Structure 1
Amino acid sequence: MDILYNVADSLRLLREKRPLIHHITNYVSINDCANITLGIGASPVMAEDIDEVQEMVSFASALVLNIGMLNPRKLEAMIVAGQQAVQKGIPIIFDPVGVGATKLRMDAAHRILTELQVTVIRGNLSEIKALLGLSSDMHGVDCLAEADNGREIAQKLSERLGCVVAITGRTDVVAYGSRVCSIYNGHALLAGITGTGCMTASLIACFCSVTNDPFIGTVASIATMGIAGELAEKRLTPNEGLGTFRVRLLDAISTMNPENLLQLIKLS
Protein backbone atom coordinates (compact mmCIF):
# COMPACT_ATOMS: atom_id res chain seq x y z
CA MET A 1 0.00 0.00 0.00
CA ASP A 2 1.31 3.45 -0.94
CA ILE A 3 0.06 4.89 2.35
CA LEU A 4 2.42 2.62 4.31
CA TYR A 5 5.49 3.69 2.37
CA ASN A 6 4.46 7.35 2.55
CA VAL A 7 4.05 7.02 6.32
CA ALA A 8 7.49 5.44 6.68
CA ASP A 9 9.09 8.01 4.39
CA SER A 10 7.67 10.88 6.44
CA LEU A 11 9.72 9.68 9.42
CA ARG A 12 12.85 9.64 7.26
CA LEU A 13 12.14 13.23 6.16
CA LEU A 14 11.49 14.30 9.73
CA ARG A 15 14.81 12.94 10.99
CA GLU A 16 16.55 14.61 8.06
CA LYS A 17 14.98 18.09 8.28
CA ARG A 18 14.72 18.49 12.10
CA PRO A 19 11.94 21.13 11.95
CA LEU A 20 11.22 23.70 14.66
CA ILE A 21 7.79 23.14 16.26
CA HIS A 22 6.19 26.02 18.15
CA HIS A 23 3.88 25.04 21.03
CA ILE A 24 1.35 27.05 23.00
CA THR A 25 0.33 24.17 25.15
CA ASN A 26 -0.69 22.58 28.43
CA TYR A 27 1.48 23.16 31.53
CA VAL A 28 0.62 19.66 32.78
CA SER A 29 2.34 18.01 29.81
CA ILE A 30 4.64 20.70 28.43
CA ASN A 31 7.86 18.91 29.37
CA ASP A 32 6.69 15.63 27.87
CA CYS A 33 5.68 17.45 24.67
CA ALA A 34 9.10 19.03 24.42
CA ASN A 35 10.87 15.73 25.01
CA ILE A 36 8.77 13.74 22.55
CA THR A 37 9.39 16.43 19.91
CA LEU A 38 13.12 16.06 20.51
CA GLY A 39 12.81 12.28 20.58
CA ILE A 40 11.19 12.04 17.16
CA GLY A 41 13.86 14.28 15.67
CA ALA A 42 12.43 17.81 15.71
CA SER A 43 13.13 20.87 17.87
CA PRO A 44 10.52 22.31 20.29
CA VAL A 45 9.92 25.88 21.37
CA MET A 46 7.29 26.69 24.00
CA ALA A 47 6.86 30.48 23.72
CA GLU A 48 3.43 31.81 24.67
CA ASP A 49 3.82 35.51 25.49
CA ILE A 50 1.67 37.55 23.15
CA ASP A 51 4.55 39.98 22.60
CA GLU A 52 6.81 37.35 20.99
CA VAL A 53 4.64 34.59 19.51
CA GLN A 54 4.29 36.24 16.10
CA GLU A 55 8.05 36.52 15.73
CA MET A 56 8.63 33.01 17.04
CA VAL A 57 6.13 31.46 14.63
CA SER A 58 7.99 33.11 11.76
CA PHE A 59 10.90 30.72 12.49
CA ALA A 60 8.76 27.60 12.94
CA SER A 61 7.61 24.81 10.62
CA ALA A 62 4.39 24.00 12.52
CA LEU A 63 2.28 25.35 15.39
CA VAL A 64 0.52 23.42 18.19
CA LEU A 65 -2.41 25.07 19.99
CA ASN A 66 -3.56 23.21 23.13
CA ILE A 67 -6.32 24.63 25.38
CA GLY A 68 -5.68 22.32 28.33
CA MET A 69 -4.65 25.17 30.67
CA LEU A 70 -6.54 28.11 29.22
CA ASN A 71 -6.58 31.77 30.21
CA PRO A 72 -7.56 34.93 28.29
CA ARG A 73 -4.02 36.13 27.56
CA LYS A 74 -2.97 32.69 26.32
CA LEU A 75 -6.00 32.56 24.02
CA GLU A 76 -5.09 35.93 22.52
CA ALA A 77 -1.53 34.67 22.00
CA MET A 78 -2.92 31.59 20.23
CA ILE A 79 -4.90 33.79 17.83
CA VAL A 80 -1.89 36.00 17.08
CA ALA A 81 0.38 32.98 16.60
CA GLY A 82 -2.22 31.24 14.47
CA GLN A 83 -2.67 34.25 12.21
CA GLN A 84 1.08 34.33 11.61
CA ALA A 85 1.07 30.58 10.90
CA VAL A 86 -1.72 31.02 8.35
CA GLN A 87 0.18 33.88 6.71
CA LYS A 88 3.34 31.77 6.58
CA GLY A 89 1.48 28.69 5.33
CA ILE A 90 2.61 26.26 8.05
CA PRO A 91 0.38 23.61 9.67
CA ILE A 92 -1.70 24.43 12.74
CA ILE A 93 -2.48 21.48 15.01
CA PHE A 94 -5.37 22.12 17.40
CA ASP A 95 -5.84 20.02 20.54
CA PRO A 96 -9.22 20.98 22.08
CA VAL A 97 -8.54 19.49 25.51
CA GLY A 98 -11.71 19.16 27.59
CA VAL A 99 -13.72 21.21 25.11
CA GLY A 100 -17.03 19.68 26.17
CA ALA A 101 -16.46 20.34 29.87
CA THR A 102 -16.92 24.14 30.19
CA LYS A 103 -18.29 27.13 28.29
CA LEU A 104 -14.86 28.81 28.39
CA ARG A 105 -13.25 25.96 26.48
CA MET A 106 -16.13 25.72 24.02
CA ASP A 107 -16.01 29.45 23.29
CA ALA A 108 -12.22 29.34 22.86
CA ALA A 109 -12.43 26.40 20.47
CA HIS A 110 -15.12 28.14 18.44
CA ARG A 111 -12.98 31.26 18.15
CA ILE A 112 -9.88 29.32 17.10
CA LEU A 113 -11.81 27.37 14.47
CA THR A 114 -13.57 30.51 13.21
CA GLU A 115 -10.59 32.86 13.04
CA LEU A 116 -7.84 30.44 12.03
CA GLN A 117 -7.36 27.91 9.26
CA VAL A 118 -6.60 24.82 11.32
CA THR A 119 -4.82 21.94 9.56
CA VAL A 120 -5.46 19.08 12.02
CA ILE A 121 -7.73 18.65 15.03
CA ARG A 122 -6.76 15.89 17.45
CA GLY A 123 -9.06 14.94 20.28
CA ASN A 124 -10.73 12.09 22.09
CA LEU A 125 -14.21 11.02 21.04
CA SER A 126 -16.00 13.25 23.54
CA GLU A 127 -14.05 16.33 22.43
CA ILE A 128 -14.70 15.71 18.74
CA LYS A 129 -18.40 15.07 19.41
CA ALA A 130 -18.57 18.36 21.32
CA LEU A 131 -17.05 20.24 18.37
CA LEU A 132 -19.60 18.61 16.09
CA GLY A 133 -22.42 19.76 18.36
CA LEU A 134 -23.32 16.31 19.64
CA SER A 135 -23.67 15.38 23.29
CA SER A 136 -20.37 14.41 24.88
CA ASP A 137 -19.41 12.50 28.00
CA MET A 138 -16.68 14.35 29.87
CA HIS A 139 -15.30 14.00 33.39
CA GLY A 140 -13.00 16.99 33.79
CA VAL A 141 -10.89 16.72 30.65
CA ASP A 142 -11.16 12.92 30.44
CA CYS A 143 -13.28 11.06 27.93
CA LEU A 144 -16.01 8.72 29.15
CA ALA A 145 -17.36 7.85 25.70
CA GLU A 146 -16.72 4.63 23.83
CA ALA A 147 -15.57 4.67 20.21
CA ASP A 148 -18.82 3.51 18.64
CA ASN A 149 -19.17 5.47 15.41
CA GLY A 150 -15.85 7.32 15.48
CA ARG A 151 -15.22 7.04 11.74
CA GLU A 152 -18.54 8.70 10.92
CA ILE A 153 -18.07 11.45 13.51
CA ALA A 154 -14.50 12.23 12.41
CA GLN A 155 -15.53 12.34 8.76
CA LYS A 156 -18.49 14.65 9.42
CA LEU A 157 -16.35 17.17 11.33
CA SER A 158 -13.61 16.96 8.70
CA GLU A 159 -16.07 17.71 5.92
CA ARG A 160 -17.62 20.56 7.89
CA LEU A 161 -14.31 22.28 8.73
CA GLY A 162 -12.18 21.23 5.74
CA CYS A 163 -9.34 19.90 7.87
CA VAL A 164 -7.95 16.58 9.08
CA VAL A 165 -9.74 15.24 12.16
CA ALA A 166 -8.12 12.60 14.37
CA ILE A 167 -9.87 10.76 17.18
CA THR A 168 -7.48 8.97 19.50
CA GLY A 169 -8.61 6.20 21.81
CA ARG A 170 -8.87 2.42 21.89
CA THR A 171 -9.03 2.53 18.08
CA ASP A 172 -7.65 5.67 16.46
CA VAL A 173 -9.42 7.25 13.50
CA VAL A 174 -8.08 9.81 11.01
CA ALA A 175 -10.41 11.46 8.48
CA TYR A 176 -9.82 14.00 5.74
CA GLY A 177 -12.89 14.41 3.58
CA SER A 178 -13.55 11.07 1.89
CA ARG A 179 -10.27 9.58 3.16
CA VAL A 180 -10.75 7.68 6.43
CA CYS A 181 -8.29 5.39 8.21
CA SER A 182 -8.53 3.34 11.40
CA ILE A 183 -5.31 2.61 13.30
CA TYR A 184 -5.16 -0.35 15.68
CA ASN A 185 -1.77 0.18 17.33
CA GLY A 186 -1.38 1.11 20.99
CA HIS A 187 -1.63 -0.26 24.51
CA ALA A 188 -3.97 0.38 27.45
CA LEU A 189 -1.07 1.74 29.53
CA LEU A 190 -1.01 4.84 27.30
CA ALA A 191 -4.21 5.92 29.06
CA GLY A 192 -2.54 5.45 32.44
CA ILE A 193 -0.11 8.36 32.14
CA THR A 194 -1.07 11.98 31.69
CA GLY A 195 -0.36 13.89 28.50
CA THR A 196 -0.25 11.16 25.86
CA GLY A 197 -2.88 13.00 23.84
CA CYS A 198 -0.89 16.23 24.08
CA MET A 199 2.26 14.37 23.07
CA THR A 200 0.43 12.91 20.09
CA ALA A 201 -0.52 16.43 18.97
CA SER A 202 3.18 17.34 19.12
CA LEU A 203 4.02 14.34 16.94
CA ILE A 204 1.32 15.33 14.45
CA ALA A 205 2.89 18.78 14.16
CA CYS A 206 6.33 17.22 13.65
CA PHE A 207 5.20 14.90 10.87
CA CYS A 208 2.90 17.42 9.17
CA SER A 209 5.73 19.95 9.04
CA VAL A 210 7.67 17.77 6.58
CA THR A 211 4.89 16.42 4.35
CA ASN A 212 2.50 18.18 1.99
CA ASP A 213 -0.25 15.69 2.91
CA PRO A 214 -1.57 16.29 6.45
CA PHE A 215 -3.59 13.05 6.27
CA ILE A 216 -0.37 11.03 5.85
CA GLY A 217 1.40 13.09 8.51
CA THR A 218 -1.40 12.50 11.00
CA VAL A 219 -1.62 8.76 10.31
CA ALA A 220 2.17 8.48 10.66
CA SER A 221 2.26 10.29 13.99
CA ILE A 222 -0.63 8.40 15.59
CA ALA A 223 0.76 5.06 14.42
CA THR A 224 4.17 6.04 15.80
CA MET A 225 2.67 6.79 19.21
CA GLY A 226 0.70 3.54 19.23
CA ILE A 227 3.68 1.41 18.18
CA ALA A 228 5.86 3.15 20.77
CA GLY A 229 3.29 2.26 23.43
CA GLU A 230 3.36 -1.39 22.38
CA LEU A 231 7.16 -1.50 22.41
CA ALA A 232 7.36 0.30 25.76
CA GLU A 233 5.01 -2.21 27.39
CA LYS A 234 6.90 -5.19 25.99
CA ARG A 235 10.13 -3.91 27.52
CA LEU A 236 8.72 -3.70 31.06
CA THR A 237 9.85 -6.25 33.62
CA PRO A 238 7.31 -7.69 36.13
CA ASN A 239 8.19 -5.18 38.86
CA GLU A 240 7.99 -2.10 36.62
CA GLY A 241 4.89 0.06 36.23
CA LEU A 242 3.66 3.39 34.88
CA GLY A 243 6.74 5.43 35.78
CA THR A 244 9.06 3.13 33.88
CA PHE A 245 6.53 2.83 31.06
CA ARG A 246 6.68 6.63 30.62
CA VAL A 247 10.46 6.45 30.25
CA ARG A 248 10.26 3.43 27.93
CA LEU A 249 7.75 5.32 25.78
CA LEU A 250 10.24 8.13 25.14
CA ASP A 251 12.95 5.52 24.48
CA ALA A 252 10.74 3.86 21.87
CA ILE A 253 9.96 7.20 20.20
CA SER A 254 13.61 8.20 20.05
CA THR A 255 14.67 4.87 18.49
CA MET A 256 11.73 4.60 16.07
CA ASN A 257 12.72 4.09 12.43
CA PRO A 258 10.89 3.67 9.11
CA GLU A 259 11.35 -0.10 9.24
CA ASN A 260 9.50 -0.25 12.60
CA LEU A 261 6.60 1.65 11.10
CA LEU A 262 6.36 -0.59 8.04
CA GLN A 263 6.58 -3.80 10.06
CA LEU A 264 4.33 -2.92 12.99
CA ILE A 265 1.66 -0.52 11.73
CA LYS A 266 -1.88 -1.89 11.79
CA LEU A 267 -4.47 0.07 9.86
CA SER A 268 -7.48 -0.19 7.59
Structure 2
Amino acid sequence: MSLSVEEVWQDVQSIRERVPLVHNITNYVAMEFTANALLALGASPVMAHAMEEVREIARISQALVINIGTLSAPWVQSMREAMKEAAKQRVPIVLDPVGCGASQFRTQTARELLATAAPTIIRGNASEIIALGSDRHETKGVDSLASSEQASEIAGELSARYGCAVSISGAVDLIVQGAQVVRVRNGTPLMTRVTAMGCTASALTGAFAACNPSPVHAAAHAMVIMGIAGELGARRAQGVGSLPMHFLDALHGLSKADVQALMQAG
Protein backbone atom coordinates (compact mmCIF):
# COMPACT_ATOMS: atom_id res chain seq x y z
CA MET A 1 0.00 0.00 0.00
CA SER A 2 1.42 3.37 -1.00
CA LEU A 3 1.08 6.64 0.87
CA SER A 4 0.71 10.06 -0.68
CA VAL A 5 2.25 13.29 0.57
CA GLU A 6 -1.05 15.03 -0.15
CA GLU A 7 -3.04 12.68 2.08
CA VAL A 8 -0.51 12.83 4.91
CA TRP A 9 -0.45 16.61 4.79
CA GLN A 10 -4.24 16.79 4.58
CA ASP A 11 -4.40 14.94 7.89
CA VAL A 12 -1.90 17.34 9.49
CA GLN A 13 -3.96 20.31 8.31
CA SER A 14 -7.16 18.67 9.54
CA ILE A 15 -5.66 18.22 13.01
CA ARG A 16 -4.52 21.84 13.10
CA GLU A 17 -7.91 23.11 11.95
CA ARG A 18 -10.16 20.83 13.98
CA VAL A 19 -8.00 20.65 17.14
CA PRO A 20 -9.37 17.23 18.20
CA LEU A 21 -9.64 16.47 21.90
CA VAL A 22 -7.52 13.39 22.59
CA HIS A 23 -8.27 11.63 25.87
CA ASN A 24 -5.15 9.93 27.27
CA ILE A 25 -5.03 7.42 30.05
CA THR A 26 -1.28 7.05 29.97
CA ASN A 27 1.68 6.59 32.25
CA TYR A 28 3.39 8.98 34.63
CA VAL A 29 6.63 8.89 32.64
CA ALA A 30 4.95 10.04 29.42
CA MET A 31 2.22 12.45 30.52
CA GLU A 32 3.91 15.81 30.10
CA PHE A 33 5.84 15.00 26.94
CA THR A 34 2.90 13.41 25.14
CA ALA A 35 0.63 16.31 26.10
CA ASN A 36 3.18 18.76 24.72
CA ALA A 37 3.58 16.72 21.52
CA LEU A 38 -0.17 16.73 20.93
CA LEU A 39 -0.25 20.48 21.46
CA ALA A 40 2.72 20.96 19.11
CA LEU A 41 0.97 18.95 16.42
CA GLY A 42 -2.20 21.00 16.84
CA ALA A 43 -4.42 18.65 18.86
CA SER A 44 -5.85 19.20 22.35
CA PRO A 45 -4.78 16.71 25.06
CA VAL A 46 -6.65 15.75 28.19
CA MET A 47 -5.03 13.43 30.71
CA ALA A 48 -7.88 11.97 32.76
CA HIS A 49 -7.74 8.66 34.59
CA ALA A 50 -10.03 9.07 37.63
CA MET A 51 -12.90 6.60 37.60
CA GLU A 52 -15.28 9.41 38.52
CA GLU A 53 -14.76 11.21 35.19
CA VAL A 54 -13.38 8.88 32.53
CA ARG A 55 -16.74 8.06 30.96
CA GLU A 56 -17.68 11.73 30.77
CA ILE A 57 -14.32 12.70 29.25
CA ALA A 58 -14.43 9.80 26.78
CA ARG A 59 -17.88 10.95 25.71
CA ILE A 60 -16.71 14.41 24.66
CA SER A 61 -13.37 13.36 23.13
CA GLN A 62 -12.57 12.66 19.51
CA ALA A 63 -10.09 9.88 20.34
CA LEU A 64 -9.09 7.74 23.32
CA VAL A 65 -5.51 6.57 23.87
CA ILE A 66 -4.95 3.79 26.41
CA ASN A 67 -1.35 3.27 27.53
CA ILE A 68 -0.55 0.65 30.18
CA GLY A 69 2.95 1.92 31.01
CA THR A 70 2.45 2.42 34.75
CA LEU A 71 -0.32 0.08 35.74
CA SER A 72 -2.36 -0.05 38.92
CA ALA A 73 -5.65 -1.77 39.62
CA PRO A 74 -7.74 1.45 39.81
CA TRP A 75 -6.28 2.66 36.51
CA VAL A 76 -7.11 -0.65 34.84
CA GLN A 77 -10.74 -0.25 35.84
CA SER A 78 -10.74 3.33 34.55
CA MET A 79 -9.29 2.11 31.26
CA ARG A 80 -12.07 -0.45 30.91
CA GLU A 81 -14.78 2.10 31.59
CA ALA A 82 -13.29 4.64 29.21
CA MET A 83 -13.01 2.04 26.46
CA LYS A 84 -16.61 0.94 26.95
CA GLU A 85 -17.85 4.51 26.66
CA ALA A 86 -15.64 5.30 23.68
CA ALA A 87 -16.87 2.20 21.87
CA LYS A 88 -20.45 3.17 22.66
CA GLN A 89 -19.88 6.66 21.25
CA ARG A 90 -17.87 5.31 18.28
CA VAL A 91 -14.81 7.25 19.38
CA PRO A 92 -11.62 5.72 17.93
CA ILE A 93 -9.50 3.85 20.47
CA VAL A 94 -5.72 3.43 20.35
CA LEU A 95 -4.30 0.75 22.64
CA ASP A 96 -0.58 0.80 23.53
CA PRO A 97 0.29 -2.44 25.41
CA VAL A 98 3.48 -1.05 26.94
CA GLY A 99 5.70 -3.80 28.32
CA CYS A 100 3.27 -6.57 27.39
CA GLY A 101 5.12 -9.80 28.00
CA ALA A 102 7.33 -8.37 30.73
CA SER A 103 4.98 -9.52 33.48
CA GLN A 104 1.88 -11.67 33.76
CA PHE A 105 -0.07 -8.67 35.07
CA ARG A 106 0.74 -6.56 32.02
CA THR A 107 0.00 -9.31 29.54
CA GLN A 108 -3.26 -10.26 31.21
CA THR A 109 -4.36 -6.63 31.49
CA ALA A 110 -3.63 -5.90 27.83
CA ARG A 111 -5.61 -8.95 26.73
CA GLU A 112 -8.50 -8.10 29.04
CA LEU A 113 -8.63 -4.58 27.58
CA LEU A 114 -8.80 -6.08 24.09
CA ALA A 115 -11.77 -8.13 25.26
CA THR A 116 -13.44 -5.06 26.77
CA ALA A 117 -13.73 -3.16 23.48
CA ALA A 118 -12.06 -3.74 20.14
CA PRO A 119 -9.52 -0.99 19.53
CA THR A 120 -9.33 0.96 16.30
CA ILE A 121 -5.53 0.75 16.34
CA ILE A 122 -3.08 -1.30 18.39
CA ARG A 123 0.31 0.42 18.52
CA GLY A 124 3.39 -1.00 20.13
CA ASN A 125 6.87 -2.35 19.54
CA ALA A 126 7.44 -5.76 18.04
CA SER A 127 7.95 -7.63 21.34
CA GLU A 128 4.75 -6.14 22.77
CA ILE A 129 2.73 -7.14 19.72
CA ILE A 130 4.17 -10.67 19.77
CA ALA A 131 3.38 -11.07 23.49
CA LEU A 132 -0.11 -9.64 23.04
CA GLY A 133 -1.05 -12.13 20.34
CA SER A 134 0.86 -15.21 21.46
CA ASP A 135 2.60 -16.77 24.44
CA ARG A 136 6.04 -15.89 23.09
CA HIS A 137 7.79 -13.35 25.31
CA GLU A 138 10.76 -11.57 23.73
CA THR A 139 11.02 -8.40 25.77
CA LYS A 140 13.48 -6.55 27.95
CA GLY A 141 11.20 -4.54 30.19
CA VAL A 142 9.48 -2.15 27.80
CA ASP A 143 12.16 -2.50 25.10
CA SER A 144 11.80 -4.75 22.08
CA LEU A 145 14.07 -7.70 21.34
CA ALA A 146 12.39 -8.35 17.99
CA SER A 147 12.06 -6.50 14.70
CA SER A 148 8.78 -5.24 13.28
CA GLU A 149 8.96 -7.86 10.50
CA GLN A 150 9.17 -10.64 13.10
CA ALA A 151 5.83 -9.46 14.49
CA SER A 152 4.08 -9.14 11.13
CA GLU A 153 2.29 -12.50 11.21
CA ILE A 154 0.90 -11.98 14.71
CA ALA A 155 -0.03 -8.41 13.79
CA GLY A 156 -2.07 -9.77 10.91
CA GLU A 157 -3.83 -12.21 13.24
CA LEU A 158 -4.65 -9.45 15.74
CA SER A 159 -5.90 -7.22 12.93
CA ALA A 160 -8.22 -9.94 11.66
CA ARG A 161 -9.45 -10.87 15.13
CA TYR A 162 -10.31 -7.35 16.25
CA GLY A 163 -10.95 -5.62 12.94
CA CYS A 164 -8.26 -3.04 13.67
CA ALA A 165 -4.99 -1.71 12.32
CA VAL A 166 -1.79 -2.78 14.05
CA SER A 167 1.12 -0.34 14.08
CA ILE A 168 4.51 -1.78 14.99
CA SER A 169 7.39 0.57 15.69
CA GLY A 170 10.97 -0.35 14.88
CA ALA A 171 13.89 0.55 12.66
CA VAL A 172 11.21 0.23 9.97
CA ASP A 173 7.68 0.81 11.24
CA LEU A 174 5.16 -1.74 9.98
CA ILE A 175 1.45 -0.96 9.79
CA VAL A 176 -0.97 -3.79 8.99
CA GLN A 177 -4.70 -4.08 8.39
CA GLY A 178 -5.95 -7.06 6.44
CA ALA A 179 -4.16 -7.17 3.09
CA GLN A 180 -2.94 -3.58 3.51
CA VAL A 181 0.67 -3.24 4.65
CA VAL A 182 2.72 -0.04 4.97
CA ARG A 183 6.38 0.28 5.87
CA VAL A 184 7.59 3.62 7.20
CA ARG A 185 11.32 4.20 7.13
CA ASN A 186 11.39 7.62 8.76
CA GLY A 187 12.97 8.31 12.14
CA THR A 188 16.37 8.20 13.78
CA PRO A 189 18.02 5.75 16.23
CA LEU A 190 18.46 8.70 18.61
CA MET A 191 14.72 8.52 19.33
CA THR A 192 15.16 5.13 21.00
CA ARG A 193 17.38 6.76 23.62
CA VAL A 194 14.66 9.14 24.85
CA THR A 195 11.87 8.00 27.13
CA ALA A 196 8.22 8.44 26.12
CA MET A 197 8.87 8.54 22.36
CA GLY A 198 6.87 5.33 21.82
CA CYS A 199 4.08 6.63 24.03
CA THR A 200 4.11 9.84 22.01
CA ALA A 201 3.72 7.85 18.81
CA SER A 202 0.55 6.34 20.27
CA ALA A 203 -0.78 9.73 21.36
CA LEU A 204 -0.17 11.21 17.90
CA THR A 205 -1.83 8.15 16.39
CA GLY A 206 -4.90 9.09 18.42
CA ALA A 207 -4.91 12.59 16.92
CA PHE A 208 -4.70 11.19 13.39
CA ALA A 209 -7.43 8.63 14.13
CA ALA A 210 -9.66 11.48 15.28
CA CYS A 211 -9.41 13.09 11.84
CA ASN A 212 -9.04 10.14 9.45
CA PRO A 213 -11.68 7.37 9.47
CA SER A 214 -9.26 4.85 7.92
CA PRO A 215 -7.36 3.15 10.78
CA VAL A 216 -4.48 1.96 8.59
CA HIS A 217 -4.01 5.38 6.99
CA ALA A 218 -4.29 7.21 10.32
CA ALA A 219 -1.71 4.90 11.90
CA ALA A 220 0.69 5.14 8.97
CA HIS A 221 0.39 8.92 8.66
CA ALA A 222 1.09 9.29 12.37
CA MET A 223 4.27 7.24 12.12
CA VAL A 224 5.44 9.23 9.09
CA ILE A 225 5.01 12.53 10.95
CA MET A 226 6.55 11.10 14.12
CA GLY A 227 9.59 9.93 12.18
CA ILE A 228 10.02 13.13 10.19
CA ALA A 229 9.81 15.25 13.34
CA GLY A 230 12.44 12.99 14.89
CA GLU A 231 14.76 13.45 11.92
CA LEU A 232 14.32 17.21 11.91
CA GLY A 233 14.83 17.39 15.66
CA ALA A 234 17.96 15.26 15.50
CA ARG A 235 19.55 17.68 13.02
CA ARG A 236 19.54 20.39 15.66
CA ALA A 237 19.97 18.33 18.82
CA GLN A 238 23.33 18.01 20.52
CA GLY A 239 22.30 14.67 21.98
CA VAL A 240 19.50 12.89 23.80
CA GLY A 241 18.99 15.74 26.26
CA SER A 242 18.10 18.33 23.63
CA LEU A 243 16.27 16.01 21.21
CA PRO A 244 12.87 16.26 22.95
CA MET A 245 12.89 20.08 22.71
CA HIS A 246 13.84 20.06 19.04
CA PHE A 247 11.37 17.26 18.30
CA LEU A 248 8.53 19.39 19.68
CA ASP A 249 9.74 22.41 17.69
CA ALA A 250 9.79 20.28 14.53
CA LEU A 251 6.25 19.06 15.12
CA HIS A 252 5.05 22.61 15.67
CA GLY A 253 6.79 24.05 12.62
CA LEU A 254 6.26 21.10 10.28
CA SER A 255 5.56 22.06 6.67
CA LYS A 256 4.34 20.26 3.58
CA ALA A 257 7.80 20.78 2.09
CA ASP A 258 9.27 18.80 5.01
CA VAL A 259 6.93 15.90 4.27
CA GLN A 260 7.69 16.04 0.55
CA ALA A 261 11.42 16.05 1.16
CA LEU A 262 11.63 13.41 3.86
CA MET A 263 8.72 10.94 3.68
CA GLN A 264 9.90 7.37 3.16
CA ALA A 265 6.89 5.08 3.22
CA GLY A 266 5.12 2.55 1.08
Q: Which amino acid aligns with 2:166?
A: V
Mapping 1:132-211, distance limit 5 Å: 132-211=133-212
Q: Which amino acid aligns with 1:159?
A: A
Q: Which amino acid aligns with 2:246?
A: R
Deviation for aligned residue 1:134: 4.7
User: Measured at CA, do residues 148 and 214 of structure 1 come closer, stay the same or move farther in structure 2, by a change above 3 Å?
Assistant: closer
Are residue 14 (structure 1) and residue 12 (structure 2) matched? no
Q: Which amino acid aligns with 2:197?
A: T
Mapping 1:27-176, distance limit 5 Å: 27-176=28-177
Mapping 1:213-252, distance limit 5 Å: 213-236=214-237, 240-252=238-250
Q: Is the Cα contact below 8 Å between 2:167 and 2:175 reproduced in 1?
A: yes
Q: Is the Cα contact below 8 Å between 1:40 and 1:253 reproduced in 2?
A: yes
Q: Is the Cα contact below 8 Å between 2:67 and 2:96 reproduced in 1?
A: yes
Aligned residue for 1:207, secondary structure, equals helix
User: Measured at CA, do residues 134 and 259 of structure 1 come closer, stay the same or move farther in structure 2, by a change above 3 Å?
Assistant: farther
Q: Is the Cα contact below 8 Å between 1:172 and 1:182 reproduced in 2?
A: yes
Aligned residue for 2:227, secondary structure, equals helix
Aligned residue for 2:242, secondary structure, equals helix
Deviation for aligned residue 1:229: 1.0
Q: Which amino acid aligns with 1:213?
A: S
**In 2, Cα distance between the equivalents of 1:77 and 1:5?**
38
Q: Is the Cα contact below 8 Å between 1:3 and 1:216 reproduced in 2?
A: no
Figure out how many residues of one structure are paired with residues of the other and give that number: 265
Aligned to 2:253: 255
Deviation for aligned residue 1:131: 1.2
Deviation for aligned residue 1:140: 1.5
Q: Is the Cα contact below 8 Å between 1:155 and 1:180 reproduced in 2?
A: no
User: Measured at CA, do residues 213 and 259 of structure 1 come closer, stay the same or move farther in structure 2, by a change above 3 Å?
Assistant: farther
Runs of at least 5 residues in structure 1 that lack an aligned partner in the other structure = none
Query: TM-score when scaled to structure 1?
Result: 0.95
**In 2, Cα distance between the equivalents of 1:4 and 1:99?**
33
Deviation for aligned residue 1:149: 3.0
Q: Deviations over 1:199-258 (max 9, x none)?
A: 00000000110111121111111011111111111123xxx2111111111111111133
Q: Deviations over 1:32-63 (max 9, x none)?
A: 01000101001101010001111111111000
Aligned residue for 2:241, secondary structure, equals helix
Query: TM-score when scaled to structure 2?
Result: 0.96
Identity of aligned residues (%): 37
Q: Deviations over 1:188-209 (max 9, x none)?
A: 0000000100000000000110
Deviation for aligned residue 1:24: 0.4
Q: Deviations over 1:77-108 (max 9, x none)?
A: 01111111011111100000001111111111
Aligned residue for 1:243, secondary structure, equals coil
Q: Is the Cα contact below 8 Å between 1:100 and 1:138 reproduced in 2?
A: yes
Deviation for aligned residue 1:122: 0.5
